Amino acid sequence: MFKTKEILLIILFSILLGALVQLRTEISELLNAILIGILSFFIIISINVITKKLTARYLDTSIEIKSWQFKRIWFKSAWYFKKKFPAGVFFPLISTFFSLGYFVWMAVLTFDPSPLSSRVTKRHGLYRFSELTERHIAFIAAAGVSVSLLSSIIFYFVGFSELAKFSIYFACWNLVPLGDLDGSKILFGGRILWYSLVIIALVFLMYAIFLI
């Protein structure tokens, strides 16, 4: 299910996000807090990715997880970087720096879907299809966001309130419709689905900020 590159990316971004979210911790507790942060994001990202892969498999599709990158700077085709810009690494670092550690950008991974040959022969609903539509891609991305929100409820009730909070933040950031992030995939594949998830995520976010 996982390629070596995908596992390394999960580990890399678990370390990056886990360290950045704990930078405001007191020096005496910083190392322990960072280790907890890294483990927390490893769990959160792994659950998110596994859910998307299983959803894709149900739709007879495979997805490859990759770091978020983009080349075009603006809408004009002439405005672009010569090489792909590593936004998945840059955005968390720059957001942490300018917010003094209060806000850490967490939308760092995206995915490339590709239909499996079995899509030609398997029936979904009333129709057979072999092409992967934006609606199907939206379902895959939405599954990841949804499970992050649902996981936060479980984490909270088993006593891991900080893990629950991080899971909510991770889900909210991944709803941002920028580039080819999950938020864009959901928005272009189903606006009602995106609006619904945003409303639900905002409720979770308010709960995380004021009550957890």
Q: Give dist(CA 183, CA 180) in Å, integer.
A: 8
Structure tokens belonging to residue 134? 């934006």
Q: What is the pLDDT along the chain (212 residues), one digit of tens a residue?
A: 788 999 999 999 999 999 999 998 888 899 999 999 999 999 999 999 999 999 999 988 999 999 998 765 555 555 565 677 889 999 999 999 999 989 999 999 999 998 876 555 555 554 455 567 889 999 999 999 999 999 999 999 999 999 999 999 999 999 999 888 999 999 999 899 999 999 999 999 998 987 66
pLDDT value at residue 116: 74
pLDDT value at residue 73: 55
pLDDT value at residue 210: 79
Q: Could you say which DSSP state residue 132 is in?
A: P
Terminal Cα distance for the chain, rounded: 35
Q: Tens of pLDDT along 163-182? A: 999 999 999 999 999 888 99
Cβ atoms 139, 48 nearer than 8 A? no
Dihedral (C-alpha) 92, 94, 96, 97: value to the nearest 10 degrees?
160
pTM flag (> 0.85): yes
pLDDT value at residue 117: 65
Cβ atoms 103, 87 nearer than 8 A? no
Beta-bridged to residue 67, according to DSSP, are: 109
pLDDT value at residue 138: 96
